[in-house]
A and B are shown apart, each in its own frame.
Chain A
Amino acid sequence: MTALIQARGLRKFFGTTDALRGIDLDIQRGEVVAVMGPSGSGKSSLLHCLAGVLLPDSGTVSVGGTVITALSEARRSALRLKEFGFVFQFGQLLPDLTAVDNVTIPLLLGGMKRRQALTAARGWLDRLGLEVAADQLPGELSGGEAQRVAIARALVTQPSVLFADEPTGSLDSLAAENVLTAMLELVRKAGTTLVMITHDPRTAAYADREIIVRDGQLAATDRVGVK
């Protein structure tokens, strides 16, 4: 089976900083992968390259057979809107729009009619247990609720890949667990591939496997077998 996401020889410099130093990575369709590693090791840079937000200085990324590193900026951004969802640690909801309006944004950008978008958005908020908060502003939501809204917005387009950078980083243990289980249930049901950066081992434990980034490279975790 060919992997959904294939990265080969990824290198990325920021000035003289060697952020990614040759990364090869395969992620299968439907896989849930935790990306771990020390601060500054290159996790976000890797995620941004995989998602076509950032172009590597060398190496290729292909998603579903499309070499996204060879696409123009316009085509990459169209692909991101259609195929990818994004969740970050905080500060992602537009403060002047209600929860449900925030969730409709990617649909409206994709050309959907507002009425239809609102119905779809409410559906995803319901699935995340947020029916009552749908008409509130982000400032009126708890941290956990705001993260669910962000997840609903990321999933509303039914992306093939969800990219998350510390999605529960600002939540306490129980809120984090509730947000994660809700997200994982939806992701698993839809067969969405999830690539999730986390510092938190309990969050990583929800993944199928973890990859560890150190100094811009993937750590080898193969065991030395007893002969």
Chain B
Amino acid sequence: MCIVAVVDNSLTLLGLLSVEPSYGYDLKHTYDRFFGVRKPLAFGQVYASLARMTRDGQILSLADEAGGGPDRKKYEVTEVGRTRVSQWMFTPDIPSETLQSNLFAKTIIALLVDDNADRLLDVQRTEHLARMRELTREKQGADLMRVLLCDHALFHIEADLRWIDLTGARLTQLRNEIKLP
């Protein structure tokens, strides 16, 4: 069983394409290197995503290489695609009690495209703290059962926040380690 919750595959692929143009085959391997350690992406999924992104005008395929088969197409992100990636990166995820793997993907992509990873973590921190404030308010005057449930949620969201803080402190190191070959 895979413990990593939903990563938005398509957006992550689009994010990787906004680092540099890539063949479908290479794209899959780059994806797996960062996000597919437990569960590599199927080629079929990669090509389905590429087709959808092409249809939506987020990427376009560069001229076919001479003698290349159907998968010998190089894809490049469009302006529409770049805007979509930026929106995705800087829109915070809903604080939940599960591992924020989407946040992990956004952080890696932000570093790869040299965007402001600090800021995306700040945006997420704000969202998490806002949720913690709601839960803290809910505790006031609530019965003890309710208080205990809120405490549980608070501690889980806090765990995410601690990850956000630590990742923020490690961004420089992370940036150096993930440089694409």
B-binding residues in A (CB < 8 A)? 38, 181, 201-202, 204-207, 210, 212, 214, 219-224, 226
One digit per residue, 1 when the CB lies within 8 angstroms of any chain A CB and 0 when it does not, for chain B 76-104 equals 00000000001100111000000000000
- What's the nearest-Cβ distance from chain B to residue A128, in Å? 18
The complex places the Cα of A220 from the Cα of B92 at a distance, in Å, of: 14
Contact B86 A224 (CB under 8 A): yes
**B152 beta carbon closer than 8 Å to chain A:** no
The complex places the Cα of A207 from the Cα of B155 at a distance, in Å, of: 17
Query: CB-CB < 8 A to B118: which residues of A?
Result: 214, 219
Q: Which residue of B lies closest to A184 (CB)?
A: B140
Binds A, one of B32-40, B48-56, B122-130: B122-130
Contact A221 B123 (CB under 8 A): yes
Question: Which label, helix, strand, loop or mixed, suits the secondary structure of the A interface?
Answer: loop
Contact B87 A204 (CB under 8 A): no
- What's the nearest-Cβ distance from chain B to residue A159, in Å? 24
Contact A205 B129 (CB under 8 A): yes
Query: CB-CB < 8 A to B157: which residues of A?
Result: 201
The complex places the Cα of A222 from the Cα of B116 at a distance, in Å, of: 13
**B7 beta carbon closer than 8 Å to chain A:** no
Query: CB-CB < 8 A to A204: which residues of B?
Result: 129, 132
Extra contacts besides A201-B162, A221-B125, A226-B87 (18): CB < 8 Å: A38-B165, A201-B128, A201-B129, A201-B161, A205-B136, A205-B154, A210-B129, A212-B122, A221-B123, A222-B123, A223-B90, A223-B91, A223-B92, A224-B86, A224-B90, A224-B91, A224-B123, A226-B91
